[in-house]
Amino acid sequence: MMEPGRPQRASQGIAGTWPTTGRTASAGGFVPAGFGVWPAIVGTLREWAKAEAGAGRLFPWVPIAFGCGIALYFAADHEPVLWVVATTAVALALGAVLLRRSRWFAPAIMIAAVAAGFAIATWKTARIAHNVLAKPLYSVSLSGFVETRDIRERTDRFVLRVTAMEAQRSDMKLERVRLSVRKGTAPDVGSFVQLKARLMPPLAPLRPGSYDFSRDMFFQGIGASGFVMGAITASAPPDAGGLRLRYAAVMQGLRDAIDARIRATLDGDNRAIATALLTGRRDAITTPVNDAMFVSGLGHVLSISGYHMAVVAGVVFFAVRALLALIPGLAAGFAIKKWSAAAALVASAFYLLLSGAEVATQRSFFMTAVVLIAVMVDRRAITFRTLAVAALIVLAVAPEALVHPSFQMSFAATLGLVALVQIGMPNLFASPDHSTTARIALWGGREIAMLFMASMIAGLATTPYAAFHFHRVTPYGVLANLGAMPVVSALVMPAGLLGLLAAPFGLDGVFWWLMGIGIDWMVAVSRWVAALPGAIGHIAAFGTAPLIGASLGLILMGLLRTPLRWSGAFVLVVTTIWGLSVRQPDILIAGDGQSVAVRGRDGRLHLIRTNKDNFLLKEWLAADADPRDAGSASLADGVSCDESGCVSPLADGRMIALALRIDALADDCSRATLVVTVKPAPPDCAAMVVDRPRLARQGALALTRRGDGFAIASVKARGANCPWSPAAAGDGDFELTLMPRSAAPRVRDATPSEADLQAED
């Protein structure tokens, strides 16, 4: 019996009892059944949120806010004013300090971190500012010092620090250029040379939303690329070139010496992969093996990253500790663990310098250094705090790394592995001593399970970034890593390190031979996995918004410790559906106007082109999840060409024309919906016209049908003027618009242009 005046309790928390009647009494009358559970749910969510905001939980979010500030910088249309940005960041940081005892401290520190990231990126760009070539230069006299040299499969490449530059109709002075030469003719690092070259602007994105190679080159200090014309003449330098150049020459000589020692025992891809693992020079690997490695999911082995740095540090750490432990006096009275960590740190630093100290390798070194220093100061090595410190260091030193796939994939994988160590691994290791689990662990079952879980977690964490940047996923990546990585970790890398130590004594041959055996196994695994049915999972381009959502989901699942972490899984599911449902454009137009792709009635792209830019075509096909290769005959289906131009129909029958001659424009303007041309079109052209001046201002275009018109996305937004992609004069077009077929805004002044020759870059 219910007491008079006392309402029936509808629920006792989230797991409480539910009412048995359709309505319940309350002080205000009757309410629907279950209504009383919502205050309990809100209370539980509040408790979870309070736990997530507890002591020590704030710091891992600081580098995320810092990275958001860097991302905002790269999203800006033009360069911010440095002193305004810096003043704002300092003011917000001081405000956060003043609020340190207030409940507003957490939001204040996050806002300050965003401002600091924005300011650091702005300052880095201002600090390295240099000229960037805007138009091709066909015969340029250059002299300068060779800073780096890459040995590639078909050609060689080197970076020239320019001391003198002469070109017709141009007085631009570039600081560095990257030049390609015939294989075997690249000059030595540190030498002073004179040459003639054909220079091209840095490669712009090949379609809206694709990777910006020009941004990478800008932050490397390179203002143009091209190829050498004629002979390269070595001469006496006007000065010594500086300490940095002498250091580069010494390190290059050391890499060449290591490669020569490896070459004495190994050849072909085995030699190339061994050299890549030790010195970072990976361009000599043949295309079939390189493709098999990436298709199978083992491509990360070829690029020196956190894995390689961890193996080097780990091998040195345990080897030094084992040797010191053999001396009783040291083992009993001294902190040999800290000494071993210091030795591993020195070895990691040498490996960083030997491998060329690229941004990805620097990031890996910083992360490894933070772990080793944590060991030296008696702190836990593998924590979210350690990862956060490493991320802050990397982003502060190289803010441009945030938009690079290697940074994104590396930290996503590491976040997943740290979460596995702190959340999943304790549960896996917690078992009774005499249980079946303990007996399985005795035979290595636990280690195998952890290797499988680590490969799976790292693979899943990097999937969104591989899909975004490379338009593919590796469904058998876990299988390939399980088959190859134990051999790489236990044989290939240790043999390589022992080979480096034994080389000065002339006893290194056996270690290179052992390294080759392990590489043979790794290549065999990669070829086998790459040949499996469905080994290549093609993913169509989906834009940055789903990628940001996927990143948020991974962060929530990794950093949150309460059941709120499963909100990250929900975000991942939503963004996956979102990314897979993005509509692909119906027309793609190259930035030089020489290539046009049209989606026909069969739903696939058909190509109209006047050159053989296979690099561009591979990117377009990959972004469309099209498995055809660049030489497929079906790419020309439905395309009709003559000496005046080409036409191809859209799915709705409307014609798209690429006009090569002026006499073809009259007919194309009357019959086609869209005309792409590098010639001046008649002012009364009834078709929509995309000409060279417009492409010079907006870059490559992607058009999607919207009724009778097109939604147009461009590489360069309206008013965009970045240091690595300066705005063309007269920029007045817009990035996204709806164009009816009769509208044809044009600029008549043509500018000289040629097909981009940077496909090999």
User: Quick one: CA dihedral 167, 204, 152, 253, positive or negative?
Assistant: positive
Note whether residue 535 is domain-resident.
no
What pTM value is reported for the model? Answer: 0.84
Highest mean pLDDT among 74-88, 455-469, 638-652 belongs to: 74-88
- Three-class SS of residue 385? helix
Average pLDDT over residues 256-280: 88
Q: Cα–chain-centroid distance for residue 717?
A: 22
Q: What is the total count of domains within the chain?
A: 3
Note whether residue 450 is domain-resident.
no
Note whether residue 639 is domain-resident.
yes
Among 241, 265, 290, residue at a domain's last position: 241
In this structure, the answer to whether residues 80 and 119 fall within a common structural domain is: yes
What is the secondary structure of 324-344 as a DSSP string? HHTSHHHHHHS-HHHHHHHHH
pLDDT at 575 > cutoff 90: yes
Mean pLDDT, the chain, integer: 82
How confident is the model at residue 128, as a pLDDT? 94
Note whether residue 698 is domain-resident.
yes
Dist. CA 569–CA 556, nearest whole Å = 8
In this structure, the answer to whether residues 149 and 98 fall within a common structural domain is: no
In this structure, the answer to whether residues 617 and 733 fall within a common structural domain is: yes
pLDDT at 10 > cutoff 60: no
Dist. CA 366–CA 392, nearest whole Å = 10
Q: Which domain holds residue 98?
A: 59-127
In this structure, the answer to whether residues 85 and 194 fall within a common structural domain is: no
Among 127, 154, 182, residue at a domain's last position: 127
In this structure, the answer to whether residues 121 and 195 fall within a common structural domain is: no
Report the 10 Å Cβ neighbour count for 23. Answer: 12
Which of 1-5, 45-49, 576-580, 631-635 shows the lowest per-residue confidence on average (mean pLDDT)?
1-5
User: Quick one: CA dihedral 730, 732, 738, 742, positive or negative?
Assistant: negative
Note whether residue 273 is domain-resident.
no
In this structure, the answer to whether residues 123 and 149 fall within a common structural domain is: no
State the CATH number of the domain containing residue 160: 2.40.50.140
- Best CA proximity match to 297, nearest among 447, 413, 425: 413
Question: Tell me: the pLDDT tens digits for 240-261?
Answer: 667 778 888 888 888 888 988 9
In this structure, the answer to whether residues 122 and 202 fall within a common structural domain is: no
Q: If you compute the radius of gyration of the chain from its CA atoms, what whole number of angstroms results?
A: 30
In this structure, the answer to whether residues 110 and 157 fall within a common structural domain is: no
718 versus 165: the higher-pLDDT residue is 165
524 confidence band (pLDDT: 50, 70, 90): very high
Q: Which residues contact 389 (CB under 8 A, 6 or more apart)?
A: 370
753 confidence band (pLDDT: 50, 70, 90): very low
Residues 703 and 711: beta-carbon distance below 8 Å: yes
Contacts 24+ apart (CB under 8 A), 260-264: 261/499, 261/503, 261/508, 261/512, 262/499, 262/512, 264/509, 264/512
Average pLDDT over residues 429-448: 55
546 confidence band (pLDDT: 50, 70, 90): very high
In this structure, the answer to whether residues 592 and 720 fall within a common structural domain is: yes
Residues 676 and 670: beta-carbon distance below 8 Å: no
Kindly give the interhelix angle for 445-470 and 566-580, rounded to the nearest 10 degrees: 40
Dist. CA 547–CA 408, nearest whole Å = 11
Residues 561 and 590: beta-carbon distance below 8 Å: no
Note whether residue 361 is domain-resident.
no
Question: Tell me: the pLDDT tens digits for 551-561?
Answer: 999 999 989 88
Note whether residue 78 is domain-resident.
yes
How confident is the model at residue 160, as a pLDDT? 94
Question: Tell me: the pLDDT tens digits for 188-237?
Answer: 888 999 999 999 999 889 999 899 999 999 999 999 999 999 889 988 88
In this structure, the answer to whether residues 153 and 172 fall within a common structural domain is: yes
In this structure, the answer to whether residues 594 and 728 fall within a common structural domain is: yes
pLDDT at 587 > cutoff 80: yes
How confident is the model at residue 346, as a pLDDT? 93
Among 221, 241, 261, residue at a domain's last position: 241
pLDDT at 748 > cutoff 70: no
Note whether residue 175 is domain-resident.
yes
In this structure, the answer to whether residues 611 and 720 fall within a common structural domain is: yes
Please report, for residues 105, 558, 684, 744, the alpha-carbon distance to residue 655 in angstroms, rounded to integers and kept in the order given.
60, 50, 18, 16
Q: Which helix (H) or strand (E) holds 356?
A: none
Report the 10 Å Cβ neighbour count for 531. Answer: 11
